[in-house]
């Protein structure tokens, strides 16, 4: 392991320890201070967040965008705080502050033995949503991006597995086949899919522009017959309590095969149409709760062109 990797791994371990040992009110106050300093200091990632959020709120003036960036960084910092603290939460703490809205049809699908695939955005706290689902909904199988250094990746795998999730490595050739087996076996498969800059990404309309999103959720639903369900994940304060909302949108059906269409053509068209339908639903959630959207990387074409040209 390089010196840099050693320092990164040590920083994550220190963050885990501090987040778990500090009283929650002190830990939350600390994340707010850090987020506000980052917002005031700026920098490339903060400016990128600002550009991304401007797509969600195109009519926002400079002052409103400043406040939105600050709130977005506070929300992002709180995501990490809760992610570090989640393994130590009790069952009651995981289940208690969650509102599962519009989810009756999804519960019925899973209760029937049919699998379901959730199309998620980088919204709210998807780790908490996964932990809640593993306890209250169905067996959860998901994928995780391989982080560097490897030690940090293993820490995150252990963390998610401790929450009751089966976690498969993103990019492994065997992962999709395993997801197919699990979905056919009735599992719940939540997948983060609102950005995919690879050559396999599906081009969709999103927040008024063209972006690439991951084809995996739609491809898995087409391959297995599992239900494809977009879910918005965000926090709201209700009756003085911070609640994690799982906003379950209607199932996205597989389009019927057209006369004369080959199986391959149908599959490609279905994946594109279903991914667009999911993008529309996630886009609506992002517009309603932009401060809960944690994308600090380039996503839109105008932001990607300089990076690709350099």
- What is the tens place of the pLDDT at every residue in 278-287? 999 999 999 9
Which tokens in the block code for residue 185? 């076996």
**What pLDDT does 14 receive?**
64
| Among 14-18, 43-47, 252-256, the least confident range | 14-18
How many domains is the chain built from? Answer: 2
Tell whether the model's pLDDT for residue 309 goes beyond 50. Answer: no
Q: Distance between CA atoms of 67 and 238, rounded to whole angstroms? A: 21
At residue 237, the pLDDT reads 95
| Separation CA 137–CA 156 (nearest Å) | 22
Residue 100 lies in a domain: yes
The pLDDT score that the predictor gives to residue 96 is: 86
Cα separation, 221 vs 271, whole angstroms? 9
Instruction: Please indicate, yes or no, if residue 306 is contained in any of the structural domains.
Output: no
Backbone phi, psi, residue 169, to 5°: -75, 130
Whether residue 259 sits in one domain with residue 166: yes
Residue 149 has what pLDDT? 65
Of residues 278 and 97, more confidence is placed in 278
In a domain? residue 304: no
Q: Domain check: are 84 and 14 in the same one?
A: yes
User: What pLDDT, on a 0 to 100 scale, did the predictor assign at position 142?
Assistant: 95
* DSSP 8-state secondary structure symbol assigned to residue 64: H
Give the model's pLDDT for residue 15.
Answer: 67
E strands of the chain, at which residues?
98-101, 116-120, 140-144, 165-169, 188-192, 202-206, 209-213, 227-238, 241-248
Please check whether residues 26 and 103 belong to one and the same domain: no
| Percent of the chain clearing pLDDT 70 (strictly above) | 90
Task: Check whether 8 has a pLDDT greater than 80.
Answer: no
In the predicted model, what is the mean pLDDT of the chain?
90
**197 confidence band (pLDDT: 50, 70, 90):** low
Does pLDDT of 3 surpass 50?
A: no
pLDDT in tens, 67-89: 999 999 999 999 989 988 888 88
The answer to whether residues 157 and 279 belong to one domain is yes
Residue 308: inside a domain, yes or no?
Answer: no
Q: Is residue 133 part of a domain?
A: yes
Which of 88, 113, 143 is the last residue in one of the domains?
88
**What percent of the chain has a predicted confidence (pLDDT) above 90?**
74
**Are 176 and 159 contained in the same domain?**
yes
> Which has the minimum average pLDDT: 58-67, 82-91, 205-214?
82-91
Whether 98 maps to a domain, the answer reads yes
| Domain final position from 54, 88, 122 | 88
Q: Tell me, what's the pLDDT at 200?
A: 85
Of the listed ranges 7-21, 34-48, 177-191, 235-249, the one predicted with least confidence: 7-21
Q: How many residues does the chain have?
A: 310
Domain presence at residue 37: yes
Closest CA to 181 of 136, 130, 141, 227: 141
Residues 154 and 191: their CA atoms lie apart, in Å, by 19
**Domain enclosing residue 176, as ranges:** 90-294
300 within a domain of the structure (yes/no): no
pLDDT at residue number 16:
62
d(CA 84, CA 152): 13
Residue 136 has pLDDT above 70, yes or no: yes
Q: Judge contact between 270 and 218, C-beta under 8 A.
A: yes
Q: With bands split at pLDDT 50, 70 and 90, how would you rate the model's confidence at 43?
A: very high
Residues contacting residue 109 through CB under 8 Å, at least 6 positions apart? 116, 227, 251
């Amino acid at each position: 392991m390089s010196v840099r990797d050693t320092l990164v791994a040590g920083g994550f371990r220190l963050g885990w320890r501090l987040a778990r040992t500090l009283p929650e009110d002190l830990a939350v106050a600390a994340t707010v201070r850090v987020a506000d300093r980052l917002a005031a200091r700026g920098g490339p990632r903060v400016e990128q967040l600002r550009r991304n959020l401007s797509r969600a709120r195109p009519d926002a003036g400079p002052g409103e965008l400043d406040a939105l960036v600050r709130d977005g960084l506070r929300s992002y910092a709180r995501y990490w705080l809760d992610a570090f603290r989640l393994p130590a939460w009790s069952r009651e703490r995981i289940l208690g502050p969650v509102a599962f809205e519009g989810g009756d049809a999804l519960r019925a699908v899973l209760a029937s033995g049919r699998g379901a695939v959730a199309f998620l955005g980088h919204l709210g706290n998807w780790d908490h949503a996964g932990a809640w689902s593993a306890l209250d909904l169905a067996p959860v199988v998901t994928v995780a991006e391989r982080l560097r250094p490897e030690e940090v990746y293993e820490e995150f795998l252990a963390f998610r597995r401790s929450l009751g999730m089966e976690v498969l490595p993103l990019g492994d050739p065997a992962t999709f086949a395993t997801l197919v087996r699990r979905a056919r076996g009735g599992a719940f498969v939540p997948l983060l899919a609102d950005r995919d800059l690879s050559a396999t990404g599906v081009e969709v309309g999103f927040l008024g522009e063209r972006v690439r999103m991951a084809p995996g959720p739609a491809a898995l639903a087409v391959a297995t017959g599992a239900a494809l369900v977009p879910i918005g994940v965000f926090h709201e304060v209700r009756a003085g309590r911070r609640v994690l909302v799982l906003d379950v949108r209607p199932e996205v059906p597989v389009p019927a095969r057209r006369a004369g269409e080959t199986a391959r053509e149908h599959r490609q068209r279905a994946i594109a149409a279903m991914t667009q339908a999911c993008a529309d639903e996630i886009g609506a959630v992002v517009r309603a709760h932009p401060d809960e959207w944690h994308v600090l990387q380039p996503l839109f074409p105008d932001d990607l062109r300089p990076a690709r040209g350099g």
